Structure 1
Amino acid sequence: MSAERYFGVALDYSPSSKYALKWAIENVVKEGDHLVLVVVHKEVLEGGQVHLWGKTGSPLVPYESLTDPSIQKAYQLKWDEEVLHSLKEAVTVKKLTVVAKVYWGDAKEKICDAVIEIPLDALIMGSRGFGTFKRTLLGSVSNHVLNSVPCPVTVVKLPPSLGF
């Protein structure tokens, strides 16, 4: 029997992060693995769970709860059909255990926190594809995470055919 494996996917609802989720399900995870969605919100909406879990992030929210509108609202989750389809495939076809961990704050820091706190065996994340100039001005979340966490990180680029 193999040991349990925990794979994280950083999800910010962008096309590149949704593609990274789909890519991870199709290419990395296998039956019995745990898929942890790491969601980081910059903004805090009134009435959300940030008041309870602002510093440490939410508890792990199981897949079964992720489709509940009240849970989605409480944790500021914006699941669209593409994400829900990928997660359903992960649970039903791949037989994965899917959970979400929600943070509020700076994505660079909170994704690194998640890798250590959960802990994750590997992290998959999308890349927005900034050029050198924008990356210099705005920084790169993927570059920071890649150089700061103790596990392997795979940065998945959005194919040009799916670009925005």
Structure 2
Amino acid sequence: MPESGNLGVVVVSVDGSEESMNALRWALQNLKLRSPTPDSTIAGFFIIFHVQSPPSISTGLNPGSIPFGGPSDLEVPAFAAAIEAHQKRITGSILNHALGICSQFNQTKVRTHVVVGEPKEKICETVLDLHADVLVMGSRAFGPIKRMFLGSVSNYCAHHAHCPVIIIKGKDSVNKGN
């Protein structure tokens, strides 16, 4: 019987990148969930968490501001719906990939959670709302210039999340057990 741990809620943030999937693999290999006890039937579980970007292209379209030949009022909602449907397909694909990794590790204590918004803020809000014991996420290891313009989601979460944050760097972290 595997050794049990004391973690109740482990949130793993995934964005479809290989780095985030490696963070999921690391969490599944290294973190031990709480087992039910005679006093409590509540067992620990992993939450595969994804922040879906808001449909920014459709939000920026305003048919009133486009003169002559711009989209009509009917076209903009259809365009927005198409973008939203596409984002839902991408989110579904990301979650299916993550759940496939969980099944490779024979991990069945898994839930999924999706929100729409800015990843930095939504990740920190969600770990608080879900009463996470720990947040696990990957890092893309941007250089200093790229990080200055794009920011670092993992760095932001490390400083603002209301729980411990484990950041998995690099592709070899999972294989080395680091």
TM, length-normalised to structure 1: 0.70
Larger C-alpha radius of gyration, 1 or 2?
2
Q: Does 1:39 align with 2:74?
A: no
Residue among 86, 90, 100 paired with 1:85: 100
Counterpart for residue 171 of structure 2: 159
Matches of 1:107 and 1:140 in 2, distance apart? 10
User: Structure 1 counterpart of 2:134, which letter?
Assistant: A
Pair 80,111 (structure 1): closer, same or farther in 2 beyond 3 Å: closer
Q: Does 1:132 align with 2:138?
A: no
Q: CA deviation at 1:136?
A: 1.2
User: Structure 2 counterpart of 1:38, which letter?
Assistant: F
Contact (CA 8 Å) 2:10, 2:133: kept in 1 or not? Answer: yes
Contact (CA 8 Å) 1:7, 1:124: kept in 2 or not? Answer: yes
Post-superposition Cα deviations, 1:11-36, rounded to whole Å, max 9, x if no partner, equal: 00101001101110011134642101
Is the partner of 1:76 in helix, strand or coil?
Answer: helix
The aligned length equals 138
Counterpart for residue 7 of structure 1: 10
Matches of 2:46 and 2:23 in 1, distance apart? 12
Contact (CA 8 Å) 1:125, 1:154: kept in 2 or not? Answer: yes
Post-superposition Cα deviations, 1:68-114, rounded to whole Å, max 9, x if no partner, equal: xxxx9579321477533312145xx34x4211110111000100011
Is the partner of 1:78 in helix, strand or coil?
Answer: helix
Over the matched positions of the two proteins, sequence identity in percent amounts to 31
Residue among 23, 26, 29 paired with 1:23: 26
Post-superposition Cα deviations, 1:46-73, rounded to whole Å, max 9, x if no partner, equal: 27999xxxxxxxxxxxxxxxxxxxxx95
Compare the two structures and name the one with the higher helix fraction: 2
Pair 48,35 (structure 1): closer, same or farther in 2 beyond 3 Å: farther
Contact (CA 8 Å) 2:50, 2:91: kept in 1 or not? Answer: no
Matches of 1:119 and 1:49 in 2, distance apart? 29
